[in-house]
């Protein structure tokens, strides 16, 4: 429709512009005193609400930075990445990339690169919490698998399972900050008489290139660090590799074919215990997969 916009739509756009601090083109009626002061309430509330949503999505990062520094980061992010999603649950989807940019700019907004990894953890854990529901199979589900079926066995990961690449060892800091938050929540609820907790002492960040496994088990999000071999195997599972291919990959990683199968079996048992596997199937090869070209030609004739 190329004609004039309805009056209501014009007013809505004008109100949104005013809340965002832009010119409303005179479409908002001023008070007898000549101002539109009530709009200021919404103008202040809008960034405050988005900052609160960002704090909720990145709660451990917010604790690590402290209120003032996190508010400064949130204000800069809101300026660079205005919310465009209908749900504020997804506000902050680009915060990690934004922090990387500000870290490269060395403007003090992100004082240490380990904070970017904390942000990665926060976002991954929130994503695992919101992931789709799916069944989780247990060890007994594989007990009746025929020996001939094992090579073509294909595992399906739970929708919440993620691998997060990290550059810093931030697990100990995450635990310390989470414990301090839980204690503060208990004190606020009156569940404990413990005196006000001091700020947690965080270990000095250490560089460590590794993968973090994040998932949801029941209603609770979980995470643990992965050794390189397990990380590679899990990635292969995510890509639909058969059990035989997993064993071949394990053999190439440990450079010894003998322990490859026990290694994969041990990993599979751990994944079942953790609740990472939603389904198991058999990927049968095509009927003529092993036929020679001449045999195919004879069959066709």
Average pLDDT, the chain: 85
The yes-or-no verdict on residue 1 having pLDDT over 50 is no
127-138 pLDDT, tens digit per residue, is 999 999 999 999
Mean pLDDT of 176-183: 92
Among 76-85, 154-163, 285-294, the least confident range? 285-294
The yes-or-no verdict on residue 301 having pLDDT over 50 is no
User: Buried b vs exposed e over 235-254: b needs ≥16 C-beta within 10 Å?
Assistant: ebbeeebbbebbbbbbbeee
Among 151-155, 201-205, 221-225, 234-238, the least confident range? 201-205
Mean pLDDT of 91-116: 97
Q: What is the pTM of this model?
A: 0.81
How much is the CA Rg of the chain, to the nearest whole Å? Answer: 27
81, 94 Cβ separation under 8 angstroms: yes
| Residues sharing a CB contact under 8 Å with residue 241, sequence separation 6 or more, in sequence order | 154, 249
Among 13-27, 50-64, 126-140, the least confident range? 13-27
Split at pLDDT 50, 70, 90, the class of 187 is confident
């Amino acid at each position: 429709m190329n004609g004039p916009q309805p009056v209501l739509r014009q007013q809505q756009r004008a109100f949104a512009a005013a809340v965002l601090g832009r010119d409303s083109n005179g479409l908002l009626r001023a008070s007898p005193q000549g101002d539109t002061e009530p709009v200021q309430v919404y103008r202040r509330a809008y960034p405050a609400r988005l900052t609160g949503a960002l704090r909720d999505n990145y709660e451990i990062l917010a604790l690590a930075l402290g209120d003032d520094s996190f508010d400064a980061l949130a204000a800069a992010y809101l300026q660079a990445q205005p919310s465009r999603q209908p749900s504020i649950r997804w506000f902050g989807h680009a915060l990690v990339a934004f922090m990387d940019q500000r870290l490269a700019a060395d403007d003090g907004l992100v004082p240490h690169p380990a904070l970017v990894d904390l942000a990665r953890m926060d976002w991954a854990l929130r994503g695992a919490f919101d992931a789709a529901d799916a069944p989780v199979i247990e060890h007994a589900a594989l007990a009746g698998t025929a020996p001939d079926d094992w090579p073509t066995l294909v595992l399906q990961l739970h929708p919440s399972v993620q691998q997060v690449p990290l550059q810093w060892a931030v697990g100990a800091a995450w635990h310390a900050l989470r414990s301090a938050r839980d204690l503060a929540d208990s004190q606020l609820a009156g569940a404990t008489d413990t005196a006000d907790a001091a700020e947690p002492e965080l270990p000095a960040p250490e560089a460590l290139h590794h993968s973090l496994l994040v998932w949801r088990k029941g209603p609770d999000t979980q995470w643990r660090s992965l050794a390189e071999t397990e990380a590679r195997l899990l990635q292969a599972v995510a890509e639909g590799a058969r059990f035989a291919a997993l064993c071949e990959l394990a053999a190439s990683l440990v450079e010894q074919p003998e322990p490859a199968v026990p290694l994969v079996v041990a990993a599979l048992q751990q994944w079942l215990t953790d609740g990472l596997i939603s389904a198991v199937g058999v990927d049968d090869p095509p009927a003529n997969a092993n036929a020679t070209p001449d045999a195919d030609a004879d069959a066709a004739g």
